[in-house]
């Protein structure tokens, strides 16, 4: 189903069978220049029996969809990030009542800019996610007050040779989530910013272990 209602262009694909993981919903958040179609094959590969909610970011940077504005690469417009995070969280809440999925069983899967808004959702509106797989994420913003993420499972999958995200940055994000008492894991891939097969292998393993 293609839908422009609920404030975001998105697709919702209901779970296809009653098999294991059927009650899971995967929230797909694309990278800069992507759209709601991009990550659907990845979502299906990660959890073939889960429902999928895939969203298109509303901000355009030279015609490329994103989830929030940035001043330059890696430097975010924090006011816009705050606003867009709340907007996306409200969309997830509304979608859960329209499509009848369980907010206790929703995992964000985000890549790059999508991973960054996923991290921001966890820090600002943790009630809309059960957990997250964040590919190539960075620290979205610094906050003195951290939420209690003690029931959340988070996988960070980062590239050892990523020209955008340093090792220190990825480790800071892990530290932040650990300090917020989540079950956070950081896995390093022998890659740059792009996804590699090992990201998928690690994510499937992590999903099976935790959900």
77 vs 183, beta carbon nearer ligand MLT: 77
Size of the site for ligand MLT (CB under 6 A): 9
Applying CB under 6 A, the span of 19-27, 69-77, 184-192, 201-209 interacting with ligand MLT comes to 69-77
Phi, psi angles (nearest 5°) of residue 196: -130, 170
Number of Cβ atoms within 10 Å of the Cβ of 1: 8
23 vs 80, beta carbon nearer ligand MLT: 80
69 binds ligand MLT (CB under 6 A): no
Least CB distance from residue 94 to ligand MLT, whole Å?
A: 24
Calpha distance 137→184 (Å, rounded): 13
Catalytic residue among 23, 80, 96, 193: 193
Binder of ligand MLT out of 25, 51, 95, 113 (CB under 6 A): 113
Binder of ligand MLT out of 21, 25, 85, 112 (CB under 6 A): 112
70 vs 181, beta carbon nearer ligand MLT: 70
Q: Which of residues 126-165 bind ligand MLT (CB under 6 A)?
A: 164
- Tell me the two tokens of residue 87: 């907007």
25 binds ligand MLT (CB under 6 A): no
Q: Is 112 a catalytic residue?
A: yes
Binder of ligand MLT out of 95, 116, 120, 182 (CB under 6 A): 116
Helix (H, G, I), strand (E, B) or coil at 109: strand
Least CB distance from residue 194 to ligand MLT, whole Å?
A: 11
Binder of ligand MLT out of 21, 32, 191, 203 (CB under 6 A): 32
Full 3-state SS string of the chain: CEECHHHCCEEEECCCCCCCCCCCEEEEECCCCCCCCCCHHHHHHHCCCCEEEEECCCEEECCEEECCCEEECCEECHHHHHHHHHHHHHHHHHHHHHHCCCHHHEEEEEECHHHHHHHHHHHHCHHHCCEEEEECCCCCCCCCCCCCCCCCEEEEEEECCCCCCCHHHHHHHHHHHHHCCCEEEEEEECCCCCCCHHHHHHHHHHHHHHC
73 binds ligand MLT (CB under 6 A): yes
User: What is the contact surface with ligand MLT in residues (CB under 6 A)?
Assistant: 31-32, 70, 73-74, 112-113, 116, 164
Catalytic sites, residue numbers: 112, 162, 193
């Amino acid at each position: 189903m293609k839908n422009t209602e609920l404030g975001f262009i998105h697709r919702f694909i209901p779970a296809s069978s009653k098999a294991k993981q059927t009650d899971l919903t995967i929230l797909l958040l694309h990278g800069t220049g992507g759209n709601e179609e991009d990550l659907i094959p990845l979502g299906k590969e990660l959890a073939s029996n889960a429902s999928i909610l895939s969203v298109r970011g509303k901000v355009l940077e030279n015609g490329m969809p994103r989830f929030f504005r940035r001043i330059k690469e890696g430097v975010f417009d924090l006011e816009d990030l705050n606003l867009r995070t709340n907007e996306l969280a409200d969309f997830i809440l509304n979608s859960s009542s329209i499509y009848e999925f369980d907010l206790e069983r929703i995992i964000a899967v985000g890549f790059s800019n999508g991973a960054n808004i996923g991290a921001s959702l966890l820090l600002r509106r943790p009630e809309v996610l059960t957990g997250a797989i964040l590919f190539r994420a960075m620290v979205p913003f610094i906050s003195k007050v951290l939420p209690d993420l003690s029931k959340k499972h988070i996988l960070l999958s980062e590239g050892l040779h990523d020209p955008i995200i340093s090792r220190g940055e990825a480790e800071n994000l892990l530290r932040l989530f650990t300090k917020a008492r989540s079950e956070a894991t950081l896995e390093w891939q022998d890659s740059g910013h792009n996804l590699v097969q090992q990201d998928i292998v690690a994510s499937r393993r992590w999903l099976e272990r935790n959900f």
